[in-house]
């Protein structure tokens, strides 16, 4: 996992051409102009998901993980507390969804508050989740780039 601010994005271009392309797309587009949804940026390589949400409390927190994609998540507005845990031998809560490259895991996490201008890169060895707390009381606009690695 990597946590940083968008002004330092060029430090991570060496992670691969697709990561660099996702950052360039992020930096060179008006992200407020996209409606929530999914957008193909580079066919079969980079997909952008736009989320507008207002978080509500939940009693059960589960972690998500991916096998074929890296998540580059960027906070446009609002504040969100994100949980992270390294993927080790945590149990899957239900069978991994191969088609959507998504699995839910039970895991203990450490937490970081993300504010506008911050990003996180989650690799297939990283579990992550958004966690609700009382300080997250405003709508969140988050951009998630799904960067294919397989």
Would you say 144 and 80 are in contact if contact means Cβ atoms under 8 Å apart?
A: no
Q: What is the pLDDT of residue 80?
A: 86
In a structure prediction context, what are the per-residue pLDDT tens digits for the chain, which is 150 residues long? 999 999 999 999 999 999 999 999 999 999 888 999 999 999 999 999 999 987 655 555 789 999 999 999 999 998 888 999 999 999 999 999 999 999 999 988 898 999 999 999 999 999 998 766 556 667 889 999 999 996
Q: What is the pLDDT of residue 76?
A: 95
Architecture field, domain 2-148: Sandwich (2.60)
SS3 9: helix
Q: What is the pLDDT of residue 150?
A: 67
Q: How far apart are CA 49 and CA 137, in angstroms?
A: 22
Q: Where are the domains of the chain?
A: 2-148
Q: What is the pLDDT of residue 127?
A: 96
Q: What is the pLDDT of residue 79?
A: 87
- pTM here is 0.92
Q: What is the pLDDT of residue 33?
A: 87
Q: How far apart are CA 16 and CA 10, in angstroms?
A: 11
* Residue pointed to by tokens 């999914």: 38
């Amino acid at each position: 996992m990597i946590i940083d601010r968008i002004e330092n994005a060029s430090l991570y271009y060496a992670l691969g051409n697709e990561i660099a392309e996702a950052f360039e797309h992020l930096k060179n587009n008006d992200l407020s102009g996209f409606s929530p949804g999914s957008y193909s940026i580079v066919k079969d390589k980079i997909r952008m998901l736009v989320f507008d949400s207002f978080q509500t409390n939940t009693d059960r927190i589960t972690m998500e993980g991916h096998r074929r994609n890296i998540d580059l998540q960027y906070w446009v507005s609002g504040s969100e507390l994100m949980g992270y845990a390294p993927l080790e031998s945590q149990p899957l809560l239900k069978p991994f969804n191969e088609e959507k490259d998504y699995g839910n895991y039970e895991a203990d996490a450490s937490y970081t508050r993300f504010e506008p201008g911050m990003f996180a890169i989650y690799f297939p060895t990283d579990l992550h989740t958004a966690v609700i707390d009382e300080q997250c009381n405003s709508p969140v606009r988050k951009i998630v780039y799904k960067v294919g690695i397989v």
